[in-house]
């Protein structure tokens, strides 16, 4: 148990350890979900960024109307309490020996650079993590369908969170577009706003730190969630993913506001379903443990 704060909001966290992973207790009860675009007042920078994107890519030109199409509707529901894994994990990761020939060959081809890398080869996807201290870890990514993941989790008494549970976990009751507020910077994408860079900015002017810089921190429930648009998380419902767009907006150069939008708590673009089903290897998930109180 510990006290935790997030952009001025305070919460008493209860963290649990299960098989070496951290889980956070989400209280149940009646909760408010969704987003009302009618109350959203974009900053001039957000409006200008979206206008450029809409013109260049043929999007719905009115920002509030566009948001209505890619966020869930405002609603009040009742949810039961549950434990939710604090970090999402990549679907289909299978550890392999760092001494495996394919790992060593990959490292030699990269001149043993430090970092985390992925390589597509004849056997699928190889992931290698090479630490600054020389530590090595390697995995094979063996794609699994959403149904296979559900079955695997059920064997250990876990499950995927429902889309409502995921949204509640992300926003933790915040009624703003993002869990930190309505504002996002429009001169950079989330992937250009690293934790190290934000930490340096805070050290220089901690009193002036913008609320959006909290996106790299654990949210009010202590979850590492919706921090990277490339990471989309599976929900229990078939074909539903939350928390990102697989990097589509960033990779497509759609604009900075659009790059941040997939991190919105209520973001749920129907087009993601088709992409998810086409390439399940890019999915992430976090375990939920229901509490039968």
In terms of domains, do 119 and 228 share one?
no
Quote the pLDDT of residue 205: 46
In terms of domains, do 165 and 267 share one?
yes
Quote the pLDDT of residue 118: 81
Measured CA to CA, the distance from residue 176 to residue 214 in angstroms comes to 14
Measured CA to CA, the distance from residue 146 to residue 55 in angstroms comes to 36
Q: State the residue range of the domain holding 181.
A: 2-90+144-290
In terms of domains, do 21 and 120 share one?
no
Quote the pLDDT of residue 200: 62
Measured CA to CA, the distance from residue 147 to residue 17 in angstroms comes to 26
Mean pLDDT of 207-221: 85
Q: Are 227 and 263 in contact (CB under 8 A)?
A: yes
pLDDT tens figures, 48-97? 999 999 999 999 999 999 999 999 999 999 999 999 999 999 888 888 99
Buried b / exposed e over 139-174, threshold 16 CB at 10 Å, is: bbbeebebeebbeebeeeebbbbbbbbbbbbbbbeb
Percent of the residues in the chain that have a pLDDT greater than 70, as a whole number: 91
In terms of domains, do 182 and 259 share one?
yes
Q: What phi and psi values does residue 3 have, to the nearest 5 degrees?
A: -80, 140
User: Is the pLDDT assigned to residue 166 strictly greater than 50?
Assistant: yes
Q: What phi and psi values does residue 125 have, to the nearest 5 degrees?
A: -115, 130
Pairing verdict, β 283-285 and 232-234: parallel
CATH number, domain of 24, equals 3.90.1580
In terms of domains, do 170 and 227 share one?
yes
Quote the pLDDT of residue 202: 59
Quote the pLDDT of residue 293: 54
Measured CA to CA, the distance from residue 234 to residue 25 in angstroms comes to 19
Greater confidence (184 vs 208) lies with: 184
Q: Which residue bears the tokens 């043993």? A: 112
Quote the pLDDT of residue 162: 97
In terms of domains, do 187 and 221 share one?
yes
Model confidence at 196, in pLDDT bands (50, 70, 90)? low
pLDDT tens figures, 115-160? 888 887 777 788 888 888 888 899 888 878 888 899 999 999 999 9
Quote the pLDDT of residue 70: 94
From 81, 113, 141, give the residue that closes a domain.
141
In terms of domains, do 148 and 230 share one?
yes
In terms of domains, do 112 and 230 share one?
no
Quote the pLDDT of residue 279: 67
DSSP E strands in 135-257: the ranges are 136-141, 232-234, 241-242
In terms of domains, do 31 and 97 share one?
no
Tokens coding 147: 């149904």
Greater confidence (99 vs 273) lies with: 99
Torsional sign, CA 27, 32, 34, 38: negative
226: phi > 0 → left, psi -120 to 50 → alpha, else beta; which?
left
From 141, 173, 200, give the residue that closes a domain.
141
User: Is the pLDDT assigned to residue 264 strictly greater than 50?
Assistant: yes
In terms of domains, do 78 and 112 share one?
no
Rg (CA), the chain: 20
In terms of domains, do 122 and 9 share one?
no
**Residue 114 carries which DSSP code?**
S
User: Is the pLDDT assigned to residue 107 strictly greater than 90?
Assistant: no
Q: How many domains does the chain have?
A: 2
From 81, 107, 141, give the residue that closes a domain.
141
In terms of domains, do 173 and 44 share one?
yes
């Amino acid at each position: 148990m510990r006290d935790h704060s997030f952009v001025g909001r305070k919460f008493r966290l209860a963290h649990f350890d299960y098989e070496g992973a951290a889980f956070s207790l989400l209280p149940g009860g009646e909760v408010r979900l969704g987003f009302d675009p009618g109350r959203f007042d974009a900053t001039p920078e957000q409006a200008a960024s979206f206008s450029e994107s809409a013109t260049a890519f043929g999007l719905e030109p009115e920002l509030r109307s566009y948001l209505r199409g890619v966020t869930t509707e405002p609603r009040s529901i009742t949810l039961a309490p549950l434990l939710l894994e604090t970090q999402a994990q990549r679907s289909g990761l299978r550890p392999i020996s760092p001494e495996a020939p394919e790992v060593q060959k990959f490292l030699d081809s990269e001149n043993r650079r430090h970092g985390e890398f992925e390589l597509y080869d004849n056997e699928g996807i190889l992931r290698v993590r090479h630490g600054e201290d020389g530590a090595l870890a390697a995995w094979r990514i063996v794609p699994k369908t959403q149904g296979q993941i559900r079955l695997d989790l059920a064997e250990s008494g876990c499950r995927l969170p429902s889309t409502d549970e995921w949204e509640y976990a992300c926003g933790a009751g915040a009624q703003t577009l993002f869990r930190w507020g309505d504002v996002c910077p429009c001169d950079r994408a989330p992937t250009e706003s690293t934790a190290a860079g934000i930490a340096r900015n805070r050290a220089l002017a901690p009193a002036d730190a913008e609320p959006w810089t909290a996106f790299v921190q654990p949210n009010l429930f202590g979850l590492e969630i919706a921090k990277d648009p490339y990471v989309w998380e599976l929900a229990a419902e078939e074909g539903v993913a939350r928390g990102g767009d697989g990097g589509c907006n960033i990779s497509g150069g759609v604009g900075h506001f659009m790059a941040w939008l997939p991190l919105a708590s209520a973001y749920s673009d129907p087009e993601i379903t088709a992409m998810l089903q086409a390439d399940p290897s890019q999915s992430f998930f976090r375990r939920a443990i229901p509490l039968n109180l």
